[in-house]
Amino acid sequence: MISDDQREHLHTWITVRRVRDTMGRTRVQEWMASISEYLTFRKSLQSFFDEHLKSYCQGKCFDTRRSACCGKDSIIVHFADIAINVLLSADEEIDPILEALTTEPLGFSCVYLGPKGCLWKLTPIVCAMFLCDGLIDVRLKGNRELEETWHCLQEQRKTFTWPDRSVLFDELEKSFLALGVQSPLMHYQYSPGLLRVKRNAGLIKT
């Protein structure tokens, strides 16, 4: 039996892909333009990971199959994570994800973790920004330049995800809501904590 999280994720992937497939080319291009700055940020984040962190993660966790960050059967996923991936992915890249979500998980690893690594084309932002204590101790701590670069990346992340201003992740949810799409993964519309941030910033009224 699949989990409730899998059902929620599966519903969202299928629904967003259906919307994408019914949208005209112009609307899809508009959505792609709206995520261009975020993709530039993710490219910088990936470059930082590849250059400074990847070798440690590969040897410490993936090769030994003792991953800390992919060791749970579910992860925190935002609606925007899925929407962006659907925009970027071909159907043959999405189909293995749908298959994984309809398969009863074995063990305690993330349902999205395949034999060759993560099935996502662009990993969820929570995963991309996760650094375990061991990684921080070995690669970042004491290296002022890397610590400052990582801090800058964390601040950049907030410009897309922290709703004390208009941010991409919130706006994508609103765009799909306007099309009649709803998902429990729309945290910017339903999470008490995120709604409080928006309310304190004067973005919504009580």
Q: Which domain holds residue 64?
A: 4-162
- Looking at residue 65, its pLDDT comes to 60
Element (H or E) spanning 114, and its range? strand 113-114
Residue 178 falls inside a structural domain: no
Q: Which residue has the tokens 């975020």?
A: 38
156: which DSSP letter? Answer: H
Question: How many domains does the chain divide into?
Answer: 1
Residue 136 falls inside a structural domain: yes
**Separation of alpha carbons 64 and 199, rounded Å:** 45
Is residue 86 within 8 Å of 79, Cβ to Cβ?
A: no
Residue 74 falls inside a structural domain: yes
**Separation of alpha carbons 178 and 202, rounded Å:** 22
- Looking at residue 12, its pLDDT comes to 98
Residue 43 falls inside a structural domain: yes
What's the token pair of residue 15?
Answer: 């629904």
pLDDT tens-digit profile, the chain (206 residues): 888 999 999 999 999 999 999 999 999 999 999 999 999 999 999 999 999 888 877 766 766 666 556 655 557 899 999 999 999 999 999 999 999 999 987 666 788 988 888 899 999 999 999 888 888 888 899 999 999 999 999 999 999 999 999 999 999 999 999 999 999 999 999 999 999 999 999 999 86
What's the token pair of residue 181?
Answer: 């799409």
Residue 113 falls inside a structural domain: yes
**Separation of alpha carbons 78 and 122, rounded Å:** 13
pTM, full prediction: 0.92
Burial (CB < 10 A; 0-12, 13-18, 19+), residue 16, is buried
